[in-house]
Amino acid sequence: MIIDMNKDYSRTIPTAWRDISAIFAALGDEHRQRILLSFEPGERLNVGQIAEVSTLARSTVSHHLKVLREAGVLISEREGKEIYFRVNKTFLETSFGRVTSYLAAYL
Amino acid sequence: MIIDMNKDYSRTIPTAWRDISAIFAALGDEHRQRILLSFEPGERLNVGQIAEVSTLARSTVSHHLKVLREAGVLISEREGKEIYFRVNKTFLETSFGRVTSYLAAYL
DNA sequence: TGTTCATGTCGATAATCATCGACATGTTCG
DNA sequence: CGAACATGTCGATGATTATCGACATGAACA
């Protein structure tokens, strides 16, 4: 049974890292961290609310929210005129869990 | 007793996120991910060995290793002419652990 | 000491990303 | 339908980062 061969740099990134790499990239930015951390447990915030407490222009916040959503960190759902964001806690937990397991087993 | 006030964007990033934000930034890059993943458990690699399996110039690899070292992901130790890198597994485990705990408690 | 080898650093250029205001889209409601 | 509002998108500009080759540093060893 073949396990991941290390040493060959061009091999595919292991499954455990697929999701997490987008998360890393998304959360490598401080503005996006602050956006994530501005959520309270179970809370939903719309773009206006997030932009309001931010120091950035609304369109810039919108951009960061897109990055966070595409990485799976946040989930968006339209509600009338507004679009509410919430933390994808389950996804984050399983992703970090997978990475922690991979770390323990293979690094 | 005051806990972290959310909603105020300019507040300081919580302690659990201090270390991890540099890790996120460091591991947001695919080249740096591949470097990390090229280590086998307990293995130590020198710059030449890492550069050899990489597609990048040696000086570029050196740059990425610096980023990884400054983020605490890798530890370097000189041994004669060579400088060996190894994964800072303990640091990564505790950092990911803290984030997982914070995630469970506050998001 | 001087040569060789491994690595770090520097400076220039290229590539990527962040930021903004203006405009487009889509929703509500009169 | 048309006005008002919330959000997304676009294009331009500025800022940050990646990348490389050339050179500097530091260790081993004849």
Instruction: Judge whether residue A1 has pLDDT over 50.
Output: no
> pTM for the full model?
0.91
Instruction: Judge whether residue B4 has pLDDT over 70.
Output: no
| Cα gap B56→B35, rounded to integer Å | 11
pLDDT for B9:
57
Residue B59 sits at the chain A interface (C-beta within 8 Å): no
Asked if B86 and B39 touch (Cβ cutoff 8 Å), the reply is: yes
Running DSSP on this structure, what letter comes out for residue A76? E
**Average pLDDT taken over every residue of chain A:** 91
Tokens of B93: 């485990």
DSSP output for A39-52: PPTT--EEHHHHHH
pLDDT for A11:
62
Task: Return the closest-CA partner of residue B83 out of B47, B52, B53.
Answer: B47
Task: Return the closest-CA partner of residue A54 out of A67, A38, A73.
Answer: A38
Instruction: Judge whether residue A8 has pLDDT over 70.
Output: no
Please report, rounded to a whole number, the percentage of residues in chain A having pLDDT higher than 90: 82
pLDDT for A3:
43
Closest residue to B6, CB basis, from A6, A10, A39: A39
Asked if A103 and B96 touch (Cβ cutoff 8 Å), the reply is: yes
Which chain B residue shows the shortest CA-CA distance from A40? B107
Asked if A73 and A36 touch (Cβ cutoff 8 Å), the reply is: yes
| Cα gap A16→A96, rounded to integer Å | 9
Longest dimension (CA), chain A: 54
Nearest nucleotide to A57, CA against C1' atoms? C20
CATH level 3 topology of A15-106: Arc Repressor Mutant, subunit A (1.10.10)
Chain A residues 26-85, Cβ below 7 A from strand D? 46-48, 51, 58-59, 62-63, 65-66, 76, 81-84
Mean pLDDT confidence for A64-88:
98
Q: Is B77 exposed, middle or buried (0-12, 13-18, 19+ CB in 10 A)?
A: exposed
Separation in Å, CA of A69 to nearest CA in chain B: 16
pLDDT for B1:
46
pLDDT for A17:
84
What digits encode the pLDDT tens for the residues B21-72? 999 999 999 999 999 999 999 999 999 999 999 999 999 999 999 999 999 9
Question: Nearest residue (Cα to C1') for D16?
Answer: A29
Instruction: Judge whether residue A6 has pLDDT over 70.
Output: no
Contacting residues for A5 by C-beta, under 8 A, at least 6 apart: A11
pLDDT for A10:
57
**Total beta-carbon pairs less than 8 A apart between chain A and chain B:** 108
Nucleotides, chain D, CB distance < 7 Å: 5-10, 17-22, 26-28
Instruction: Judge whether residue B10 has pLDDT over 90.
Output: no
